[in-house]
């Protein structure tokens, strides 16, 4: 007996996540690819010996990154410390990051955090963002979303830094450290999108697609998805593909949907792999092929997608496009259920009822 499950294309609503690293405050080099000359380094050394903080900072940065000089983290810390003691905020930020990332114990981490706090309070945006990141992750210091929101918002007030705008938008959209406010989230995503911030474009598109904080506008949603697609975002490729399949915000075009899914699949998107499998299973814009569907579901399942695991399991149990194997099929459905997939849980109930 065949198992029937409800199949639907998978859409991303608004994946909310933060991913920052402790960022060093940069200095201007003669060009992106040209290291400072020995003459310039010697000049920095001379000025640094006279307690000129900017020269000390530049030496620290050169030693940290191996610019025109042999990379030496110990010497980088030394010169950053000199400049930091002279209250140069950029040096405090960079030394703070080096100390925190050294994993040298709680006392060193606390010293690093203290330096970041000094720089953040002195209105160094990079330090404010680094501090917010630490407070969100909660791995090196105690997690505190409210303080993280405070520093992130402060960074947006002092600069047009798109990453800060994006982070504040995420926090408003997901109630992290503040109350949910989709309208404010949309405002900050719009600011970041103006600077071509890919993830901000993705989330702003999602808000327009579902009418959260902004009027529902599928054409505008498609426009922002297009922008994110141009920047190589696979989630935007999947969502725009769905719009082409449904003819929402764009003219229905299965070939464009498939092209977007394949582009995302080539970049490793398990959602795109699942959706390609569904197109072949349903014959949506392509010649119906259970074999091709099963192949794509297997790729998706191996890539960890709960939908792909479920659909592969069902095809194995039914022997559709693949050799029938009830035990293996159930294992894949169980994997999907372990991820909380409601369809998978319901399918397992159907399986259990059939064996009673």
Q: Within this chain, do residues 313 and 356 fall inside the same structural domain, yes or no?
A: yes
Q: Write out pLDDT tens, residues 119-159.
A: 999 999 999 999 999 999 998 889 999 999 999 999 999 99
**Mean pLDDT value across residues 242-252:** 96
Domain boundary among 117, 152, 187: 152
Nearest to 55 by CA among 23, 89, 83: 83
Residues whose CB falls within 8 Å of the CB of residue 118, separated by 6 or more in sequence, listed in order:
89, 92
Q: Within this chain, do residues 140 and 165 fall inside the same structural domain, yes or no?
A: no
Report whether pLDDT(279) > 80.
yes
Q: Within this chain, do residues 233 and 260 fall inside the same structural domain, yes or no?
A: yes
Q: Write out pLDDT tens, residues 155-212.
A: 999 999 999 999 999 999 999 999 999 999 999 999 999 999 999 999 999 999 999 9
Q: What's the rounded Cα separation, in Å, for the pair 54 and 336?
A: 56
Domain boundary among 129, 152, 175: 152
Domains contained in the chain, number: 3
Q: Within this chain, do residues 50 and 146 fall inside the same structural domain, yes or no?
A: yes
In a domain, 8, yes or no: no
In a domain, 31, yes or no: no
In a domain, 38, yes or no: no
What pLDDT was estimated at residue 24? 65
In a domain, 291, yes or no: yes
Domain boundary among 245, 268, 291: 268
Cβ(164)–Cβ(20) below 8 Å: no
pLDDT band at 25 (very low <50, low <70, confident <90, very high): low
In a domain, 177, yes or no: yes
Q: Within this chain, do residues 142 and 207 fall inside the same structural domain, yes or no?
A: no
Q: Within this chain, do residues 70 and 126 fall inside the same structural domain, yes or no?
A: yes
What 3 state SS string does 111-142 have? HHHHHHHHHHHCCCHHHHHHHHHHHHHCCCCC
**Mean pLDDT value across residues 290-297:** 97
Q: Within this chain, do residues 257 and 281 fall inside the same structural domain, yes or no?
A: no
Q: Within this chain, do residues 73 and 105 fall inside the same structural domain, yes or no?
A: yes
Q: Within this chain, do residues 304 and 324 fall inside the same structural domain, yes or no?
A: yes
Q: Write out pLDDT tens, residues 84-96.
A: 999 999 999 999 9
Q: Within this chain, do residues 48 and 97 fall inside the same structural domain, yes or no?
A: yes
The domain that holds 147 is classified in CATH as 1.25.40.10
Q: Give first-to-last CA distance, the chain, whole Å.
A: 14
**Mean pLDDT value across residues 290-307:** 97
Q: What's the rounded Cα separation, in Å, for the pair 253 and 121?
A: 53
Which domain, by its residues, includes 314? 276-356
Q: What's the rounded Cα separation, in Å, for the pair 189 and 166?
A: 6
Residues whose CB falls within 8 Å of the CB of residue 259, separated by 6 or more in sequence, listed in order:
none
Six-digit token pair at 283?
A: 């014959």
Q: Within this chain, do residues 243 and 179 fall inside the same structural domain, yes or no?
A: yes
Instruction: Tell me how far CA of residue 250 lies from CA of 212, 220, 222, 226, in angstroms.
Output: 20, 10, 7, 11
Q: Within this chain, do residues 18 and 84 fall inside the same structural domain, yes or no?
A: yes
In a domain, 19, yes or no: yes
In a domain, 181, yes or no: yes
What pLDDT was estimated at residue 27? 53
In a domain, 145, yes or no: yes
């Amino acid at each position: 007996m065949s198992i029937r499950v409800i199949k639907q294309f998978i859409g991303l609503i608004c994946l909310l996540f933060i991913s920052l690293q402790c960022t060093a405050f940069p200095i201007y080099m003669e060009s992106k690819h040209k290291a400072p000359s020995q003459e310039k380094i010697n000049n920095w050394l001379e000025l640094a010996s006279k307690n000129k903080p900017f020269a000390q900072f530049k030496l620290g940065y050169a030693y940290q990154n191996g610019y025109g000089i042999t990379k030496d983290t110990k010497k980088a810390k030394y010169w950053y410390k000199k400049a930091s003691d002279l209250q140069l905020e950029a040096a405090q930020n960079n030394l703070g990051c080096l100390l925190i990332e050294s994993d040298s114990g709680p006392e060193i981490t606390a010293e690093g955090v203290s330096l970041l706090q000094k720089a953040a309070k002195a209105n160094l945006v990079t330090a404010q963002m680094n501090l917010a990141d630490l407070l969100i992750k909660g791995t090196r210091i105690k997690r505190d979303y409210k303080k993280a929101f405070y520093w992130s918002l402060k960074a947006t007030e002092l600069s047009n830094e798109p990453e800060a705008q994006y982070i504040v938008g995420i926090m408003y959209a997901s109630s992290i450290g503040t109350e949910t406010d989709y309208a404010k989230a949309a405002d900050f995503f719009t600011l970041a999108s103006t600077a071509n911030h890919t993830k901000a474009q993705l989330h702003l598109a999602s808000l327009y697609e579902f009418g959260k904080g902004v009027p529902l506008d599928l054409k505008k949603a498609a426009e922002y998805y297009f922008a994110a697609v141009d920047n190589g975002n696979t989630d935007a490729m999947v969502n725009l593909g769905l719009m082409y399949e449904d003819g929402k915000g764009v003219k229905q075009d299965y070939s464009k949907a498939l092209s977007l899914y394949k582009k995302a699949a080539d970049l490793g998107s398990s959602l795109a792999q699942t959706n390609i499998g569904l197109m072949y299973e349903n014959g949506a814009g392509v010649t119906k092929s259970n074999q091709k569907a099963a192949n794509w579901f297997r790729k998706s399942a191996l890539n960890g997608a709960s939908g792909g695991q479920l659909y592969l399991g069902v095809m194995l149990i039914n022997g559709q496009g693949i050799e029938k194997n009830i035990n293996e099929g159930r294992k894949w459905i169980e994997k999907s259920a372990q991820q909380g997939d409601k369809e998978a849980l319901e399918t397992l109930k159907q399986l259990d009822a059939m064996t009673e």
